[in-house]
Structure 1
């Protein structure tokens, strides 16, 4: 049986798509890549992000060590490790290319030297596009989200895109806006010279 040819995406194509409000997902059993630009669009407004009081206590207790960009591929593979996933091998390799170019980023939570949670996404100008998160320890991904927002605020980012709003994200202030408003916010964010990673 002949293997399917790779469908990895060119990094420049990916970045142009994000700048226009589109993102890819692997769909179907054959892993075909499709493009999405939801209306409405999910975001977490950085100025109204809300962490529940119990989670704030967890953060203060330093149960997890937070790291940035030290295990990007491991985070992606952990996010993909579920019964149904849109993170195909083609998607993974495409986003690893973005990571090597400095546009892909991960926020990781570690416990006793083990990766137990995290999230990854893409930064472009003053926008951060959250892609997926995972956890194997209670609160690990939530702590990563708090750390993400703190870094975005500290570094002048103005847009945190979540694509859609789930009940999980709604508890942090996640909300839906019309696509036209999203594109206006994206247009304002892209010219900013924000740096997510450490040089």
Structure 2
């Protein structure tokens, strides 16, 4: 296990533990966070744990041509009941992601320090958000880190049914129009799979990240 010092450095992702931990410790400075994402690494830890830096052996991603929008979801979108905005309420989005109750999860991995760290990244134009509104109330959204050719999604929330799906679909369509290579969703869950996300090998993900080419 590699323990980080004050030096701005990460070991190669190939040195990760079998479950995907690359390093422990360090800080959540904007410089270190940006280096992590550019290196295929992201932080994921509980409040009572040291900072854990991950690059899992399999990465959950969306290739935009695989995006799945069900007929019922298309009907909801076409009703125009929801308004979608980009980067208008970043702090509200991340705070909602932090507070929202999640099935089979007693707490949240979004610590207070992480909130402030990503808000700093947002101020630098690196971290971005999608907001979903209903009757002028924020009811869903997501946030992540924008690398210019890959968007690394971090977390999303819904206060009403389908709101996070609307945010995800809106982001995917915008990224596709801007010729991004893929949307990084980090680790598998059924919700992401239902939207068309698939797992790829870490080596393939790193190839797209480092060479800006499709696979």
Same fold (TM over 0.5): yes
Summarize deviations over 1:88-133 as a string: whole Å, max 9, x none: 0111111111100001111110011100000001101201000000
Gaps (5+ residues) in structure 1?
A: 1-6, 191-199
Q: Which runs of 5+ in 2 are unaligned?
A: 1-25
Q: Please, which of 79, 83, 86 is the counterpart of residue 61 of structure 1? A: 79
Displacement of 1:13 after TM fit? Answer: 1.2
- TM-score if structure 1 supplies the norm length? 0.88
1:25 and 1:91 in contact (8 A); partners too: no
Runs of 4 or more, structure 1, over 4 Å off, are none
Q: How many residues align?
A: 183
Helix, strand or coil for the counterpart of 1:59? helix
| Residue of structure 2 aligned with 1:46, choices 56, 64, 68 | 64
In structure 1, how many angstroms separate the alpha carbons of the residues matched to 2:192 and 2:131?
18
Q: TM-score, normalised by structure 2?
A: 0.81
**Matched residue, 1:156:** 179
Q: Pick from 138, 157, 169: which aligns with 2:192?
A: 169
Structure 1 residues 153 and 33: alpha-carbon distance in aligned structure 2, compared to 1, 3 A threshold: same
Which residue is equivalent to 2:19?
none
1:111 alignment partner, one of 125, 128, 134: 134
Deviation readout 1:19-44 (Å, 9 max, x if unpaired): 111001232x4253211101111101
Q: What residue number does 2:44 align with?
A: 25
1:138 match: 161
Cα root mean square deviation, aligned: 1.5
C-alpha displacement at 1:170, in angstroms? Answer: 0.5
The answer to whether 1:34 aligns with 2:52 is: yes
Q: What is the rounded CA distance, in whole Å, between the counterparts of 1:86 and 1:31 in structure 2?
A: 10
Q: Which has the higher contact order (CA 8 A, sep 6+)?
A: 1
Written as runs of structure 1 = structure 2, the 5 A alignment for 1:110-129 is: 110-129=133-152
Using the alignment, how far apart are the partners of 2:42 and 2:109 within structure 1? 12
* 2:209 equivalent in structure 1: 186
Secondary structure, counterpart of 2:146 in structure 1: strand
Q: Distance in 2 between matches of 1:41 and 1:147?
A: 22
Q: Which shows bigger deviation, 85-94 or 181-190?
A: 181-190
Contact 1:119 1:134 in 2 (8 A): yes
